[in-house]
Amino acid sequence: MTIRLNAPAKINLCLHVLALRPDGRHVLDSLVAFLDCGEWVELRRAAKTSLQIIGPQSANLPVSANNLVLRAAGLFPAGCDTEITLHKTMPIASGIGGGSADAAATLNGMAQLWDLPLPDVTTQLDLGADVPVCMQSRPVVMQGIGEIISLLPKLPPLFACLVNPACAVSTVLIFNQLVSKANPAMDALPGDILQIPDWLAQQRNDLQAPAILAEPMVTSVLTELRAHAPIVSRMSGSGATCFALFKSLEAAQFCAQTTQAAHPNWWTVSGPLLAS
């Protein structure tokens, strides 16, 4: 039996940092959506656990024991030996949860392949703060240190263009450079989902300013995206990937095509947000 699961990109449509806990973890408040970028994990039973990484970003991610896919597989009992193939399309350390999405897909795939329960949320968090939110790949509100996940019924039809300027940034560095560790939470979500785009425009990403200080190319990306008059454009996660939201697929695709033409070395993708 072979199981293949998609590992969509995680987009922090907004990300508010509310507090710094004594253990050094940050309390977050974030509306998260997902975009299928063609990344997937394939698993099959084997005599020995192994990982093969293929795809357009595979050269940037050599196989190592610390890879989140192997660490996720290692959470299952001895004897659950699995041959794993990771098709890597997302840039490394780019703020869209590529490694966390891969880990989440691996956890879900291992549970199906071996007919075993999933590790609990606390164990998932040991892999990374974004792993629990990536377990279902649907619109959610993520709170706490990533362990409080509230499902949304759906989002209105929205289409995204994601752009990364071929720059990897350190999440630890960005959080360390955040001046204020205590910021206001998100505004209450509107009761009418059609008002979410306007609501989003009033929210923020508290990590955007420190990321721009660490990597000024973030400003260049945002300038490029905002030239297309999106509903909203900001950085995702700790960067450096930025997004622009549109009401039509054609507008998102045009943004991606023109950005790619102007900046051939940038990573660019577009498509519909996974709405439910």
Residues of the chain where predicted confidence (pLDDT) is lower than 50: none
- Among residues 29, 102, 130, 206, the one annotated as catalytic is 130
Query: Is 29 a catalytic site residue?
Result: no
Q: Judge whether 69 and 106 are in contact, CB under 8 Å.
A: yes
Q: Are 99 and 68 in contact (CB under 8 A)?
A: yes
Cα 94 from Cα 217, distance rounded (Å): 13
User: Which residue is catalytic, options 10, 29, 102, 206?
Assistant: 10
Per-residue pLDDT at 221: 98
Q: What is the pLDDT of residue 134?
A: 97
Sorted by sequence, the CB contacts under 8 Å of residue 208 that are 6+ apart come out as: 218, 234, 235, 239
All domains of the chain, ordered by start, with CATH?
2-144 (3.30.230.10), 154-272 (3.30.70.890)
- Neighbouring CB atoms inside 10 A of 262's CB total 11
Amino acid 154: pLDDT:
83
Q: Which residues contact 264 (CB under 8 A, 6 or more apart)?
A: none
What DSSP character marks residue 30?
A: E
According to the model, what pLDDT value does residue 276 have?
60
pLDDT tens figures, 242-260: 999 999 999 999 999 999 9
Task: Provide Rg for the chain, Cα atoms.
Answer: 18
Burial 34-52 (b: 16+ CB within 10 A, else e): bbbbbbbbbbeeeeeeebe
Q: 82 has which bridge partners?
A: 45
Catalytic residue status for 10: yes
pLDDT tens per residue across span 180-238: 999 999 999 999 999 999 999 999 999 999 999 999 999 999 999 999 999 999 999 99
